[in-house]
Amino acid sequence: MKKLAILGVALMVTTFLQAAPALAAPVRYEAEAAPAVCNGTIDSNHTGFSGTGFAEWTVNAASTGTATIGIRYANGTTTNRPADIVVNGTVVQAASAFNGTGAWTTWASKTLTAPVNTGSNTIRVSATTASGPANLDFVDFEVAAPTPEFQAENATISQGVVESNHAGFTGTGFVNYDNASGSYVEFSVPITAAGSFTLEFRYANGTTTNRPLSVNGTAVDFPGTGAWTTWQTRSVTMNLQSGNNPIRATATTAGGGPNLDKLTVTMGGGGGAPTAAQLLAKVTACSQISNGRYSTDSETSATIPVCQKSGAVFWKADMDIDCDGIRTTQCNENTDCCFLPDTFCHSSTDQALNAAQLPYMVVPSPSSIWDYRNFQIGCGTVVAIIFNNQVLYTVMGDTGPSSIIGEASYASAAALGINPDPSNGGTDSGVTYLVFQGSQRVSPIENHNNATNLGEQLARTFVNNN
């Protein structure tokens, strides 16, 4: 007699809901289903059985890939009940052990992986000894969707050509940008649920000169990789919307872009917003880009350089309080000796900014020391101010004296726990200003939530690439 105890079958299929390569949160489908084929008995008394036997489930996979298969079983004997595990007719585990679990009521799970196809697949557990298989409860089935990849050669190309003369590319080739600023590759990335994503660009740059790209306005460096056949990656963290997201990577220097192989998009912000410590760890060494140095106050000597990192510049200084802009109880001629009813940058309605309300920071006016305008920095650029283990995302909102550095609005100081009083507030040291380069601007400039949102993405990109 051959019988096999099957104590109910539940199939759980976890999948990425995917139409073309689209990304979404995993969707779990649960279904009760009997095995399609069963050579044994379906019992509910937890007893064993004798003779060889098998059970086969038909499962559905949303995509081709590697499935994780979990088989729940009980074996109340002390003797192994080996079985072949067969997926789509191929033995993927021969005489796989189903050892004693201690009791027929004690269930254990065996997990294995196997290649599966899109659509229907069969999973058979087929006993290889006369004792038959263990009692089988259910099968968990999950296929991770392949990570969506977008080949550059299939994207929209402006001023560039598809080539394949340097080995190591994926797909059928790569894009060789023209050696021209403004040349670009634009991908269309379909997303089913909005969220934070990591965009990884695979590239080669056989020169020793950086080939920066503006990725939807975020400045990203693509430094030399050693050879045109040596491929590396750079990542950008970005919020994407549901629907098609155009991702344009535009060369910003005369050298043009690097050779671009593909874009890979994964869900998640690559670790979320960085902490103050994670950001500070990236700004310990200064590669000075200013011609000279700045003072923190009119009476101090010039000791503060502007330093260059990948995608950002930074300085470490004090904080003076800017109370300029529209008149408020906090900021006016009486509270501030040097009150100016205007700021260099204006709101979306062309008003001066509100220093008491909006966290903004102040960049030195252009001079021979340094000119922010040559570094893809302007009104609405996001600036992370790091102080006392906190990160505050602000915007460039004003320009200040041309030889003094380290200034932020009343609201910036207040948010960081610094005395915001324009006459006696501020702090003498310990403030890091990290200014993210690129054409992307906070819009409208007076929306602090937008600054924080964009700042967190830029900060994650900064940590990825430095």
Closest approach of Cβ 265 to ligand GCU, in Å?
24
Q: Which is nearer to ligand GCU, 64 or 179 (CB)?
A: 179
Closest approach of Cβ 220 to ligand GCU, in Å?
17
Q: Is 412 within 8 Å of 303 (Cβ atoms)?
A: no
The secondary structure of 320-342 as a DSSP string is: EEE--BS--SSSSTTT-TT--S-
Distance from C-alpha of 61 to C-alpha of 114, rounded to nearest angstrom:
12
Q: Which is nearer to ligand GCU, 259 or 461 (CB)?
A: 259
Distance from C-alpha of 16 to C-alpha of 190, rounded to nearest angstrom:
13
Distance from C-alpha of 326 to C-alpha of 274, rounded to nearest angstrom:
33
Q: Which is nearer to ligand GCU, 228 or 462 (CB)?
A: 228
Q: Which is nearer to ligand GCU, 208 or 389 (CB)?
A: 208
Closest approach of Cβ 158 to ligand GCU, in Å?
15
Please tell me what DSSP assigns to residue 172: T
Preceding omega of 82 cis (within 30 degrees of 0) = no
Looking up tokens 């460039």 gives 396
Closest approach of Cβ 179 to ligand GCU, in Å?
6
- Residue 84 CB neighbour total at 10 angstroms: 17
Q: Which of 54, 104, 203, 228 binds ligand GCU (CB under 6 A)?
A: 228
Query: Of 405, 419, 178, 193, which is closest to residue 313 (Cα–Cα)?
Result: 405
Closest approach of Cβ 8 to ligand GCU, in Å?
60
Please identify the residue of the shown chain whose CB is closest to the bound ligand GCU: 176
Q: Which of residues 261-320 bind ligand GCU (CB under 6 A)?
A: none
**Binding string, residues 183-222; x marks residues near ligand GCU by CB under 6 A:** ----------------------------------------
Q: Which is nearer to ligand GCU, 228 or 375 (CB)?
A: 228
Q: Is 410 within 8 Å of 319 (Cβ atoms)?
A: no
Q: Which is nearer to ligand GCU, 134 or 251 (CB)?
A: 251
Q: Is 405 within 8 Å of 347 (Cβ atoms)?
A: no
How many Cα atoms are found within 13 Å in the side-chain-facing hemisphere of 209? 8
Q: Which is nearer to ligand GCU, 252 or 259 (CB)?
A: 259
- Quick check: 166 binds ligand GCU (CB under 6 A)? yes
Closest approach of Cβ 280 to ligand GCU, in Å?
36
Closest approach of Cβ 356 to ligand GCU, in Å?
50
Across the strands, what pairs with 249? 185, 215
Q: Which of 93, 96, 126, 176 binds ligand GCU (CB under 6 A)?
A: 176
- Burial label for 412, CB within 10 Å (0-12, 13-18, 19+), is buried
The pair of structure tokens assigned to 441 is 């601007």
Q: Is 396 within 8 Å of 376 (Cβ atoms)?
A: no
Q: Which is nearer to ligand GCU, 256 or 359 (CB)?
A: 256
Closest approach of Cβ 176 to ligand GCU, in Å?
4
**Binding string, residues 112-151; x marks residues near ligand GCU by CB under 6 A:** ----------------------------------------
Distance from C-alpha of 31 to C-alpha of 222, rounded to nearest angstrom:
48
- What three-state secondary structure class fits 43? coil
Q: Which is nearer to ligand GCU, 233 or 253 (CB)?
A: 253
Query: Which residues have a Cβ under 8 Å from the Cβ of 29 and sit 6 or more positions away?
Result: 12, 13, 14, 15
Closest approach of Cβ 330 to ligand GCU, in Å?
53
Q: Which is nearer to ligand GCU, 225 or 394 (CB)?
A: 225
Closest approach of Cβ 256 to ligand GCU, in Å?
6
Q: Is 40 within 8 Å of 49 (Cβ atoms)?
A: yes
Q: Which of 179, 264, 367, 402 binds ligand GCU (CB under 6 A)?
A: 179
**Binding string, residues 233-262; x marks residues near ligand GCU by CB under 6 A:** -----------------------x--x---
- Burial label for 449, CB within 10 Å (0-12, 13-18, 19+), is exposed
Q: Kindly state the number of chain residues that form the binding site for ligand GCU, as judged by CB under 6 A.
A: 6
* Residues contributing to the site for ligand GCU (CB under 6 A): 166, 176, 179, 228, 256, 259
